[in-house]
């Protein structure tokens, strides 16, 4: 009986085992992956995917650089971590991630980005002023982009990547200023930069006296009548900024036709600096100033080019704390101006500054103000002479403190110059100011024929001032330019007051002009373009036509007084 029960138990057990195998074999495997493709960064990283299966499963990578945890599991939803090491190659690499569940399998394609290589064999190049070719060698792994930040460097030829060298042409540098350009190579998020340093052309050229033979007094005698293009080229940031149209050849032709043979060009430069480290002046501004100078040249007129108010960086800073900074800039600007106009003959003169003074201070200058202001004059002369060529002999004009006659007579010292008899001195004259330029309800007349006049600045003062300039400068061989003078038009006066004003103003301008000529001064009347109330204008700036003929004709008649009348 016991044997019977034992055999029965064994038989039932075998039947039970056979039933389980049959149930499992009847299950259809299911396998779902959360992604079919995966991208990994070049630096390597760990990514998590999810796997869902109804049976046991395994997972493996075709590449050793991708490890998987866990590598197997049972039915259910499972998180799988794929850890990829850094790709140190310069090619994209891939791994097939195979998942098997029962008799089913799926593959996930994993892609890892390549490592990028971009390295320059040389990062800085020195190029002569004559220009040349720069060959930039590099190591690189893929296509790249090139950008150049200046127009004087041009890509020449892209050679094969096996050679990995690119050539660039560098233009000749006509300026004496050195310059720097950058060539940038960009591959993906990598940028390598080549710096091109080019020296400037030779600053000094041999002295050339041809066309600049006249010494100062001789040249001064050739200037009959002078006129200012005021409130145009000296406007910071643009010549039309103060209401005048651009200076045209039509205007200069009209000035010439009226009888003037010399033009003073007040000019700004600071607004046109394109590199604050070298103080490089814009090429386009040089081209524009040249146009205006050439308007004068084509009319066989003399031209005086200066640094005017120019925002006040020089004019308002004759102090020790600003001296070095201002002189550095003064030197750099005048070297550029001098080099650009170096080939012009003696009809072009340079004037170093304008009305240098401390803003709001009109008393006698201190020793500090005087010495600093006169250092600006010396810097100007040194900078121009250092360029050689015709500039070695060019006539140059320096200014008294605030272009004031009294200060000039009392304090002015001429700069040291490497050539004799080529320096002039400049003063301005607007005395008395309440008649000439002060905008107020009180509008006095001027001259001995009138009673309602200022209590100073009449004919005796004028003769004393100009006579002192003759004694202290002209008689010692230094010509004097009266760079500015004038009296504004008070057109809003009525009837008799206006008649007296016009007659008095005409008399003033004629008398100042005559007295200047009698004392060896070359007068340049101020014109700010305005021909209406409070204006100093003589010409229509658009057409070049004379606006105040009744003023201009008498004024020009006295200009014929020449050196032999002194």
- The CATH fold of domain 118-198: Immunoglobulin-like (2.60.40)
**If you average pLDDT over residues 505-514, what whole number do you get?**
96
pLDDT at 130: 93
> Is pLDDT above 90 for 202?
no
- Closest by Cα among 153, 149, 147, 122 to 136: 122
User: What is the pLDDT confidence band of residue 20, given thresholds at 50, 70 and 90?
Assistant: very low
Catalytic residue among 234, 239, 355, 426: 355
pLDDT in tens, 342-397: 999 999 999 999 999 999 888 899 999 999 999 999 999 999 999 999 999 999 99
Regarding predicted confidence, which is higher, 53 or 2?
53
Q: How many CA atoms lie within 13 A of 557 on its CB side?
A: 10
Q: Which CATH superfamily is domain 31-112 in?
A: Immunoglobulins (2.60.40.10)
Contact 108, 80 (CB under 8 A): no
Residues 6+ apart with CB under 8 A from 31: 51, 52, 53, 57, 99, 101, 104, 105, 106
> Is pLDDT above 60 for 42?
yes
Q: Is 24 exposed, middle or buried (0-12, 13-18, 19+ CB in 10 A)?
A: exposed
- Closest by Cα among 521, 513, 526, 515 to 556: 513
Contact 321, 372 (CB under 8 A): no
pLDDT in tens, 309-322: 999 999 999 999 99
Choose the CATH number for 216-565 among 3.40.50.10860, 3.20.20.80, 3.40.50.20, 3.30.420.40: 3.20.20.80
pLDDT at 25: 54
Contact 526, 486 (CB under 8 A): yes
Stated pTM of the model: 0.77
pLDDT at 19: 42
Regarding predicted confidence, which is higher, 164 or 158?
164
Report percent pLDDT > 90 for the chain. 75
Residues 6+ apart with CB under 8 A from 452: 444, 445, 500
How high is the mean pLDDT of the chain? 91
**Is residue 355 flagged as an active site residue?**
yes
> Is pLDDT above 50 for 17?
no
Residues 6+ apart with CB under 8 A from 263: 226, 227, 228, 229, 252, 255, 296, 301, 302, 303, 304
User: What is the pLDDT confidence band of residue 257, given thresholds at 50, 70 and 90?
Assistant: very high
> Is pLDDT above 70 for 3?
no
Phi, psi of 48 (to 5 degrees): -110, 130
> Is pLDDT above 60 for 431?
yes
pLDDT at 22: 44
pLDDT at 141: 73
Report percent pLDDT > 70 for the chain. 92
Query: Any idea which of 9-23, 95-109, 348-362 has the lowest mean pLDDT?
Result: 9-23
* Per-residue buried b or exposed e for 58-70, using 16+ beta carbons within 10 Å of the residue's own CB: ebebeeebbebee
**If you average pLDDT over residues 99-127, what whole number do you get?**
88
User: What is the pLDDT confidence band of residue 496, given thresholds at 50, 70 and 90?
Assistant: very high
Phi, psi of 190 (to 5 degrees): -105, 135
Helical (H) or strand (E) element with 335: helix 320-340
Which DSSP symbol is given to 170? E
Contact 401, 370 (CB under 8 A): yes
Q: How far apart are the C-alpha atoms of 315 and 328, rounded to whole Å? A: 14
pLDDT at 560: 55
- Residues shown for the chain: 566
Tell me if 118-198 shares its fold with 216-565. Answer: no
pLDDT at 559: 66
- Closest by Cα among 398, 374, 526, 419 to 473: 398
> Is pLDDT above 80 for 561?
no
> Is pLDDT above 80 for 1?
no
User: What is the pLDDT confidence band of residue 164, given thresholds at 50, 70 and 90?
Assistant: confident
Q: Where are the domains of the chain?
A: 31-112, 118-198, 216-565
User: What is the pLDDT confidence band of residue 158, given thresholds at 50, 70 and 90?
Assistant: low
Phi, psi of 103 (to 5 degrees): -95, 15
pLDDT at 548: 87
Residues 6+ apart with CB under 8 A from 369: 318, 319, 357, 358, 401
**Is residue 420 flagged as an active site residue?**
no
Bin 457: left if φ > 0, else alpha if -120 < ψ < 50, else beta: left
Q: How far apart are the C-alpha atoms of 230 and 530, rounded to whole Å? A: 10
């Amino acid at each position: 009986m016991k044997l019977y029960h034992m055999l029965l138990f064994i038989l039932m057990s075998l039947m039970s085992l056979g039933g389980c195998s049959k149930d499992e074999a009847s299950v259809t495997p299911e396998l779902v992956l959360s992604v079919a493709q995966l991208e990994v960064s070049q630096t390597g990283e760990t990514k998590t995917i999810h796997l869902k299966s109804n049976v046991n499963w395994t997972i493996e990578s075709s590449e050793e650089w991708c490890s998987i945890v866990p590598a197997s599991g049972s039915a259910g939803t499972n998180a799988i971590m794929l850890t990829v090491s850094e790709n140190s190659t310069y090619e994209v690499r891939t791994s097939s991630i195979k998942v098997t569940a029962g008799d089913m399998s799926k593959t996930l394609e994993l892609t890892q980005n390549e490592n990028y290589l971009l390295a320059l064999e040389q990062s800085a190049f020195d190029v002569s002023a004559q220009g040349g070719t720069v060959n930039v060698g590099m190591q690189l792994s893929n296509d790249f982009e090139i950008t150049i930040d200046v127009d004087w460097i041009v890509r020449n030829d892209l050679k094969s990547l096996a050679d990995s060298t690119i050539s660039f042409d560098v233009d000749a540098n006509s300026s004496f200023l050195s310059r720097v350009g950058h060539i940038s190579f960009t591959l993906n998020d990598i940028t390598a930069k080549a710096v091109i340093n080019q020296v400037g052309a030779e600053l000094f050229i041999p002295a050339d006296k041809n066309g600049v033979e006249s010494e100062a007094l001789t040249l001064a005698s050739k200037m009959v009548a002078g006129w200012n293009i005021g409130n145009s080229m000296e406007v910071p940031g643009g010549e039309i900024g103060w209401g005048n149209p651009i200076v045209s050849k039509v205007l200069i032709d009209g000035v010439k036709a009226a009888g003037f043979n010399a033009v003073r060009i007040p000019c700004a430069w600071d607004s046109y600096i394109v590199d604050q480290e070298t103080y490089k002046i814009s090429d386009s501004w040089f081209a524009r100033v040249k146009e205006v100078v050439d308007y004068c040249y084509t009319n066989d007129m003399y031209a005086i080019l200066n640094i005017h108010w120019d925002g006040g960086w020089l004019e308002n800073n004759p102090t020790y704390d600003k001296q070095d900074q201002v002189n550095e800039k003064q030197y750099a600007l005048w070297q550029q101006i001098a080099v650009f106009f170096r080939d012009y003959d003696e009809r072009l003169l340079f004037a170093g500054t304008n009305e240098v003074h401390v803003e709001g201070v009109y008393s006698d200058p201190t020793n500090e103000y005087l010495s600093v202001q006169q250092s600006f004059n010396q810097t100007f002369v040194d900078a121009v002479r250092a360029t050689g060529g015709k500039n070695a002999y060019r006539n140059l004009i320096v200014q008294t403190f605030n272009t004031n006659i009294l200060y000039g007579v009392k304090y002015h010292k001429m700069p040291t110059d490497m050539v004799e008899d080529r320096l002039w001195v400049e003063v301005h004259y607007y005395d008395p100011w309440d008649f000439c330029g002060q905008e107020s309800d009180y509008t006095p007349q001027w001259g001995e024929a009138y009673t309602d006049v200022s209590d100073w600045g009449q004919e005796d003062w004028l003769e004393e001032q100009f006579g002192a300039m003759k004694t202290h400068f002209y008689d010692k061989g230094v010509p004097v330019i009266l760079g500015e003078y004038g009296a504004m038009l008070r057109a809003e006066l009525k009837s008799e007051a206006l008649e007296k004003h016009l007659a008095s103003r005409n008399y003033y301008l004629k008398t100042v002009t005559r007295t200047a000529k009698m004392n060896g001064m070359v007068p340049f009347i101020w014109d700010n373009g305005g021909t209406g109330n409070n204006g100093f204008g003589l010409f229509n700036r658009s057409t070049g036509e004379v606006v105040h003929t009744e003023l201009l004709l008498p004024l020009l008649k006295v200009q014929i007084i020449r050196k032999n009348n002194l």
